[in-house]
Amino acid sequence: MTDRSRSDRPGPDRSRSDRYEPDVFKARIDRELERFVSREADQLLGIDADLGPVAGQLRVAVAHGKRLRAAFCYWGWRAAGQPDSDALVRAAAAMELVHAAAVVHDDIIDDSPTRHGLPTAHVALVGARPGGPRSKSVARALAMLVGDLLMSLAGQLFVTSGLPAAYLTRARPLWADLARELIAGECLELLHTGAAPDTGASLKVIRYKTAKYTVEQPLLIGGALAGAGPRLREAFSAYGLPLGEAFQLRDDLLGLFGDPARTGKANLDDIRTRRPTVLLAETWQAAGPAEREQLRRLLGRRGTGAQDLDGVRDLMSRLGAPARVENMIDARVEEAAHALDDITLPAHAARALAELARTAAVRRH
């Protein structure tokens, strides 16, 4: 079964397509996203010039990222034996629009001020009506609509990628799963915020909010497009779920202990919002009464500052929570690696998935 879609002519990257070269792949995805989103932004401007700030945030939303979700979709396709395909790259790029939508919505919910070192959408859009009444609430509403549009555009890019209709039909049901599980995870995080920290509940949040749409679902969608059989799909899930959890556990560590210059995010977000992270749950579980009282004083306060951050970091480190989360990451990466032991993959796909596991779980930003 070979994809003969309209844009599969040999291109400059084709000779290296059997090697996972992150920068080369990222450049391919970036080109597709820039071309597609620029066209959509121009159409918004064609409706009314006042939509300029909204069109600008569409462009900003897709301008950054490691493109891991697109990579997992691509290598799900290649692991099923399909060749490199520009049409598949466009379909994989749709995963990044899903991520961009999720990020915009997540930043609104958490009231995060920065992302990638830039103002988040709901902050930047305050300038859309400078000095106007309710400028902040209008900005939040505009940002919410930007996120909604990005999710809609993800579906549009996917179905117009140039892949045969029969291929797209195989993958379409997975889009409903992806959206349902992503929203469920976000809702669970909101419902558990401020509740007594619990490691099991926090792991469930990250499984549905992040792990599935970051690794498992992109792999399954790429595999479905390629006609992957049940055994390979099962292996994708067995690999994708623990690896996706490891990805988010690493993100939680970086969120509190990482360098904002590298992560592009404020260290204070998780403690200011009292987000139900595994890191917090592990700290709470190990804490005695006095230490729990200290946590209560430090978390979720108005005007949270650097001194509060230092206090939380010190308490977490003294109670060994970061080390336990590191052990969770290691265990999940190992589980993901072994999930592929019993299936035969093309050598280039096996190498790429092994490299992607390292990239997802061992990183500084």
Domain ranges of the chain: 14-361
pLDDT of residue 232: 97
Sequence-distant (≥ 6) Cβ neighbours of residue 291 within 8 angstroms: 315, 319
Helix ranges (DSSP H) in 130-229: 135-159, 165-192, 199-206, 217-226
Q: Give the per-residue pLDDT at 117.
A: 85
Q: Is the pLDDT of residue 58 over 90?
A: yes
When pLDDT is cut at 50, 70 and 90, the band that residue 133 belongs to is low
Q: Torsions phi, psi of 24, nearest 5?
A: -65, -45
Percentage, residues of the chain above pLDDT 90 = 75
Mean pLDDT for 303-326 is 89
Provide the whole-model pTM. 0.91
| 115 phi, psi to nearest 5 deg | -150, 130
Query: Does the structure show a pLDDT above 50 at 6?
Result: no
Of the candidates 122, 131, 349, the one whose C-alpha atom is nearest the C-alpha of residue 235 is 349
Give the number of other Cβ atoms within 10 Å of residue 27's Cβ: 14
Cα–Cα distance measured from residue 294 to residue 284, given in angstroms and rounded to the nearest whole number = 11
Is residue 7 pLDDT above 50, yes or no?
no
Is 215 within 8 Å of 360 (Cβ atoms)? yes
Q: What is the pLDDT of residue 28?
A: 97
What's the CA gap between 63 and 50, in Å, rounded? 22
User: Quick one: pLDDT band at residue 303, thresholds 50, 70, 90?
Assistant: low
- Give the pLDDT mean for 219-226: 98
Q: What is the 3-state secondary structure (H, E, C) of 43-91?
A: HHHHHCHHHHHHHHHHHHHCCCCCCHHHHHHHHHHHHCCCCCCHHHHHH
- The Cα 320–Cα 226 span in angstroms is 44
With a pLDDT cut of 70, the percent of the chain lying above it is: 92
336 has a pLDDT exceeding 60? yes
pLDDT (0 to 100) of residue 338: 94
SS3 202: helix
Q: What is the mean pLDDT of residues 236-246?
A: 97
Q: What is the pLDDT of residue 362?
A: 82
Angle 180-147-219 from CA coordinates, rounded to 5°:
45
Per-residue pLDDT tens over the stretch 69-107: 999 999 999 999 999 999 999 999 999 999 999 999 999
At residue 130, the pLDDT reads 67
Q: Residue 357 has which token pair?
A: 């596991």
**DSSP for 231-263, written as a single string:** HHHHHHHHHHHHHHHHHHHHHHHHHHHS-HHHH
- Which residue type occupies 239? Y
| pLDDT on residue 1 | 39
* φ, ψ of residue 111 in degrees (nearest 5): 55, 45
- Nearest one of 26, 87, 27 to 226, comparing CA atoms: 87
* Distance in angstroms (rounded) separating the CA atoms of residues 365 and 293: 31
pLDDT band at 217 (very low <50, low <70, confident <90, very high): very high
Given a cut of 60, is residue 41 above it in pLDDT? yes
* pLDDT value at residue 132: 65
Please state which of the ranges 12-26, 69-83, 139-153, 226-240 shows the lowest mean pLDDT: 12-26
Burial 291-330 (b: 16+ CB within 10 A, else e): eeebbeebbeeeebeeebbeebeebbeebebbebbeebbe
Q: Is the pLDDT of residue 135 over 80?
A: yes
Does residue 13 register a pLDDT over 60? Answer: no
pLDDT of residue 25: 96
Q: What pLDDT score was predicted for residue 198? A: 94
Q: What is the pLDDT of residue 306?
A: 80
pLDDT of residue 157 exceeding 90, the answer is yes
pLDDT exceeds 90 at position 9: no
Q: How would DSSP label each residue in 205-230? A: HHIIIIIIIIIIHHHHHHHHHHT--H
Comparing 73 with 15, the larger pLDDT belongs to 73
CATH code that applies to domain 14-361: 1.10.600.10
What's the mean pLDDT when you consider all of the chain? 90
Retrieve residue 153's tokens: 């555009």
